[in-house]
Amino acid sequence: MTPAAPVLTARALLLDMDGTLVNSDAAVERSWGVWADENGFTLDEVMKVSHGRQAHATMAVLLPDRPAERNLADNRAMLARETADTDGVVPVPGAPAFLAALAGLPHALVTSADAALAGARMAAADLPVPAVRVTAEDVTASKPDPEGFLLGAATLGIAPADCVVFEDSEAGILAARAAGMRVVGVGPRAADLGPDAHVEDLTRLRVTAAPSGGIALYLTEPAPVPTA
């Protein structure tokens, strides 16, 4: 049952993609597995720092003395590989209904993917790409830098304090906090990262236009477990 009072209200929502709207974990791990093997890392070592960041930013964390040009070249190769590999990319539960509820309400996609990869993954998950989007080409710094979220808010014409970000990763939540925005954490990675609200997936959320204007977010109870 939807509670009487919203857990959060906002004038706009800013949405991460991977882990928030789409489950691309298998494809991400396949791509990073190739890079890890080539550069002497285990996949676990890479995945501990990769979530939410652009690939070249992850490489800079793992190989701080490596020339930026090599990281950018590897980043381009990885983006091409990921764009071509959408096997197993599916929507996060509840994402189709969530995006449908946002039709006509101010929202934007803010992702570390480039436009081609974002389009490929959203298409693979059969999700509409929001009309306003911020992708890797639009920013000079990767999450956890707040640039992407600030650009998304500015494009929508909404003050940062009036935005709520949906994120699954530490880098993304840090970026939202640095932008002065509130956060709904989505999925298990976000549970212990201090979001203002947390949901296991988007089935646990209802979105409506607020009576006084803006957007109201409601957390819902899990469906009851059938009894024999």
Whether 18 is catalytic is: yes
3-state secondary structure of 134: strand
Active-site residue (options: 16, 145, 162, 168): 16
The count of C-alpha atoms lying within 13 angstroms of the C-alpha of 169, restricted to the half-sphere facing its C-beta, is 26
Question: Which of 222, 177, 217, 170 has its CA nearest to residue 197?
Answer: 217
**Tell me, what amino acid is at 30?**
R
218: left (phi over 0), alpha (psi -120 to 50) or beta: beta
Alpha carbon dihedral 190, 195, 197, 201, in 10-degree steps, equals: -20
* String of DSSP letters for 63-119: -TTS-HHHHHHHHHHHHHHHHH--TT-EEPTTHHHHHHHTTTS-EEEE-SS-HHHHH
Task: Give the active site residues.
Answer: 16, 18
